[in-house]
Amino acid sequence: MSHTPATATAADPTSKRSVGDLVRAAISGWLGTALEFMDYQLYSLAAALVFADLFFSNENPAIAVVAAMATYGVGYVARPVGAFFFARLGDKTGRTKVLFYTILLMGLSTTLIGVLPTYGQVGILAPILLVVLRILQGFGAGAEISGAGVMLAEYAPAKRRGIIASLVALGTNCGTLLASGIWAILLVAYSEQEVIEWAWRIPFLGSAVIMLFAIWVRFNLKESPVFEERDDVVDGKALSKKETIELATETGNMRALEAMERKPIKAFAIALMLRFGQAGNSGLIQTYLISYITVVLLLDRSIGVNAVIVSSLVAFITVPLSGWLGDRFGRKRMYTVWAVIALIVIVPTILMISSKETWQVFVGYVVLHNLAVMTFASLENLTLPELFGSRNRYTYTAMAREIAAIIATGAGPVIAAAWVSAVTGSFIPIIIMLGIFTLCALFASLWMPEVAGRDLTDPRDAI
């Protein structure tokens, strides 16, 4: 039985945009998200494979890995600050301007990592400069994927939001695949010594090409039709809270007055836990497990990278499938189904990865990554915007994503690296942490209302 939208919109603002406009919005969101995740996957793989040697003292390899993971996590500290700054601007002046700023800052920071001096060349200054660029990269990235998700959710027809907004998650997949592919080529084309000496710089410098293309696409992007139809937007800018209340009182706009009185506590808590589940699993699986395979299991460096590539290819099916199922059966039901399945596969897949058998490592990683990360990623890109009202949608979506990312994706790999090291390489901490993250998503899915098909011009939150 197909899902019936919770709320229908009488006059769909998306009808004011042509198919060409929707395609441009989709390409813009896909490119920006692809660049963001290519940047972060380039960094996470570099942190797992070579940054411990390049930017930190190699007297204690285990400590160097923890330090490399910690530097990876620093970028997530800056993300909420960037999310708050840019997303509030996006709620006040529109989505398109902000999405231009975020991709520019994010892309430049990543490119500059490719020209940094190493620890052997300048000592402690090397990790300091790396941290500075990671902070700038995180500041720009903090509102990028949230803005892309909000833009596509507000552009797409109500009954097709899931499949269309899943393009954002495909952007994450494309970025991850491209970065992993580049690293795989480097590891095959060059010796380990050449990669450490200079070849690691190639992918960071090359990312500038995608950044320039994405900027060009966004020059021609029209504003979100939902933003333009908001009750509190006049001449392209949002009214202040006081002005909105005055206008709503004069016009008898009860839903606007109700939205001003409501607190977003429940909606924000649900969004935070949904995000916590996806982000936590993502940090452990896409970042720490690569290091675990290389450093703890002592397998060849190419195995982890190739497993990411295979999994990213499989995700080209997983992501749109999850988005389509979300349209057909609702976000709430599909979140619950995927969370239960993810809980079931955690133990057997980690056992397969820890077996050190190459084929089992591949199968275990692909199954775990797709069922515990990519299914959630597909759903959250439209579920989070649908949870919030039109006035503060971008801000609340971005803050929920990035606060969870600090704790889960930023700190998760660091905690996992330290915990596994403390218990002499046991995989038990990984299983425990994946279970906790997935349970957060399951609990949130049981608590949340159905949000598929909501009228996104409604200033009230879904709960």
Beta carbons of 372 and 438 less than 8 angstroms apart: yes
Rounded CA separation 369/335 (Å): 16
CA neighbor of 109 nearest in space, from 211, 193, 17: 211
The encoded tokens of residue 394 equal 């971008």
CA neighbor of 147 nearest in space, from 88, 105, 104: 88
Rounded CA separation 424/125 (Å): 32
Q: Where are the domains of the chain?
A: 18-222+239-447
Using H for helix, E for strand and C for coil, what is the string for 105-174? HHHHHHHHHCCCCCHHHHCCHHHHHHHHHHHHHHHHHCCHHHHHHHHHHHHCCHHHHHHHHHHHHHHHHH
Name 238's bridge partners.
Answer: 233
For residue 435, the tally of other CB atoms under 10 A from its CB is: 14
- The predicted structure's pLDDT at residue 393: 94
Q: Can you name the CATH fold of 18-222+239-447?
A: Growth Hormone; Chain: A; (1.20.1250)
Phi, psi of 230 (to 5 degrees): -60, 145
Rounded CA separation 220/217 (Å): 6
- DSSP string covering 318-373, please? HHHHHHHHHHHH-HHHHHHHHHHHHHHHHHHHHHHHHT--HHHHHHHHHHHHIIII
Give me the residue label for tokens 């190699």: 58
Query: Maximum distance among all alpha carbons in the chain?
Result: 72
Give me the residue label for tokens 């990035």: 402
What is the value of pTM for the model shown?
Answer: 0.83
Rounded CA separation 211/158 (Å): 30
Beta carbons of 13 and 226 less than 8 angstroms apart: yes
198-227 burial, b at 16+ Cβ within 10 Å, e below that, comes to: ebbebbbeebbebbeebbebbeebbbbbbb
Rounded CA separation 172/455 (Å): 27
- The predicted structure's pLDDT at residue 10: 46
Beta carbons of 398 and 344 less than 8 angstroms apart: no
The encoded tokens of residue 197 equal 């000496």
**What CA dihedral angle connects 140, 146, 151 and 154, to 10 degrees?**
-160
Per-residue pLDDT of the chain (463 residues; tens, 9 = 90+): 344 444 444 456 766 777 778 888 888 888 888 888 788 778 777 876 777 777 775 656 666 666 666 676 677 778 889 999 999 999 999 888 898 889 889 889 989 999 999 888 887 788 888 888 888 888 888 888 888 889 888 888 888 888 888 877 788 778 877 887 888 888 888 887 888 888 889 989 988 888 888 888 888 788 888 888 888 888 888 888 888 888 889 888 898 888 888 889 999 999 999 999 999 999 899 888 888 888 888 888 788 878 888 998 899 999 999 999 999 999 999 999 999 999 999 999 999 999 988 899 999 999 999 999 999 999 998 899 999 999 999 999 999 998 888 888 778 888 888 898 888 888 899 999 999 999 999 999 999 999 998 889 899 999 8
